[in-house]
Amino acid sequence: MSKPRKYPQRVRGKPFNLQEAKIQASILLKSLGSPDKETSLHAAKRFQRLSEFADFPLAEIPTQAIKHKHALAVIAMENGFKSWADLKSEISFIVGGFLNKWFANYQEAKVQQQESGGFLFPYKNQFFICEAGYIERLGLDSNDHDWKLIGWDWANPSDKTAWHRLYKKWMKIQEGSHE
C-alpha cells in the first residue's frame, strides 16, 4: 500500500501558490541564520533533505554557503515536488472547481486518455486528465493546433517544438497574472 500523497497546504488562510512558496523559502533561510540555536538547528534539519547537505552534521549546515535556491528546493520537496523547477512548472495547473481524473502513474493515465480523450498533465509524482474547460480556465486555447501535435499530453509530448510553443504561451499568461 502506498503512503498518502502530501499536497500543498493552505498557509495563514491563503492557498499555497508560487508566491507563498517563495515567502516560505525566505523565512527558512532567515531561520537558518537565526541567533536562536534551536531555530537555526531546526532549519538546518530541513536542509538535510537536500543531497548536498544530507551528510553534514546539523551544527555545520548553518556555516555552509546556503543560497536562496537551496531554500526553494527544500520548500518544494516538503510539499511533495521533486525540485523547485517541478513546483514552478506544475503548481499553476492546480485550479479549483474541476473534477479531473487522477492516476498514480503515467501508463494508467495514458491508457485512460487514449480511451476517453482529454488533456494529460503531470503533478508531482502523479498524473491527471482534464477537459477543455480546465484548459480554458488556465487561459490557454483548448483548440490550439499545438495540443493535437503534442497528443494532448503535457507530460510526454509527441512534438517537443509544439510543446515549447504552448509553454511559451503559458509563461506569457503567468507573467500577465503577476502584473
Please list the helix, strand and coil fractions of the chain in percent, rounded to the nearest 5, in that order. Answer: 55, 10, 40
For residues 148-161, average pLDDT: 97
pLDDT recorded at residue 71: 96
| Residue 12 three-state SS | coil
pTM to 2 decimal places: 0.54
For residues 17-23, average pLDDT: 81
| Residue 123 three-state SS | strand
Q: What is the dihedral of CA 28, 32, 38, 41, to 10 degrees?
A: 100
How far is 4 from 21, CA to CA, in rounded Å? 21
Task: Say yes or no to pLDDT of 88 above 90.
Answer: no
